[in-house]
């Protein structure tokens, strides 16, 4: 069974940092592009970043470029999102997802709250 | 990277057909056949309903269909059922090697 389990969310002060993890199981993790998407509760989905199967290609939305870094450890079947210089606008539920088209699958998300 | 444009809400009577539009530009929807549609029920993760404009994943009802004309993609739900009440999001690959979502459409079965 395919599983994506996000962790690492929580309360962080403005200007702080947080690293999210997404543990993958039930499929050959190293074969897929992976993505991070966030959603403010009650609002829409926002694509943040993607990384290719071996980690050599990364892309970011303008809203997080220079602040967030996506990475992966295929030996550990884990995807990461390092988030720096966090502001209130980054408060959201963060999802990891496998692919955006065919073979798409989503985790249940981890909540990040940026507040003093 | 502007969000794709979707109507905020669409409603229909059970059994009717409804269509949700998703308008972008030639740099995203119009330029690529990588348009997907997701269904999201409250408190749940999104679920893929259509990928690559017209393709349905295994297990998705054939009441859901997708199409595209120019810079606008569309999702049609035929024979609307109460269980189809949810938020629907389109997404497209872009010329910037990124993806962009629409603002979402709330579907209501009256």
Encode chain B (110 residues) as per-residue pLDDT tens digits: 789 999 999 999 999 999 999 999 999 999 999 999 999 999 999 999 999 999 999 999 999 999 999 999 999 999 999 999 999 999 999 999 999 999 999 999 98
Q: Do A102 and B55 touch (CB under 8 A)?
A: yes
DSSP state of A107: -
Residue A85 has pLDDT above 90, yes or no: yes
pLDDT in tens, A16-58: 999 999 999 999 999 999 999 999 999 999 999 999 999 999 9
Q: Do B98 and A104 touch (CB under 8 A)?
A: no
Can you tell me whether residue A101 is helix, strand or coil?
coil
DSSP state of A42: T
On whether the CB atoms of residues B71 and B26 are closer than 8 A, the answer is yes
Comparing alpha-carbon positions, the chain A residue that sits nearest to B41 is A42
Query: For position B2, what pLDDT does the model report?
Result: 86
């Amino acid at each position: 069974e395919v599983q994506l389990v996000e962790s690492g969310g929580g309360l962080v002060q403005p200007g702080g940092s947080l690293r999210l993890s997404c543990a993958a199981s039930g499929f050959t993790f190293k074969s897929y592009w992976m993505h991070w998407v966030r959603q403010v509760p009650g609002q829409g989905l926002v694509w943040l970043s993607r990384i290719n199967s071996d980690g050599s290609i990364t892309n970011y939305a303008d809203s997080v470029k220079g602040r967030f870094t996506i990475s992966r450890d295929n030996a550990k079947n884990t995807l990461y999102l390092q988030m720096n210089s966090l502001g209130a606008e980054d408060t959201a539920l963060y999802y990891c997802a496998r692919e955006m088209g065919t073979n798409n699958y989503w985790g249940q998300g981890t909540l990040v709250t940026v507040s003093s | 990277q502007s969000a794709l444009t979707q109507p905020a809400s669409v409603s229909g009577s059970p059994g009717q057909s409804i269509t949700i539009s998703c308008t972008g530009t030639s740099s995203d929807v119009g330029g690529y056949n990588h348009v997907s549609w997701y269904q999201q029920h409250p408190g749940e993760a999104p679920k893929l309903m259509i990928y690559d404009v017209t393709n349905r994943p295994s297990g998705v009802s054939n009441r859901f269909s997708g199409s595209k004309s120019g810079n606008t993609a569309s999702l049609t739900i035929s024979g609307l059922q109460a269980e189809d009440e949810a938020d629907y999001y389109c997404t497209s690959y872009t010329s910037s090697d990124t993806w962009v979502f629409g603002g979402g459409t709330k579907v209501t079965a009256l």
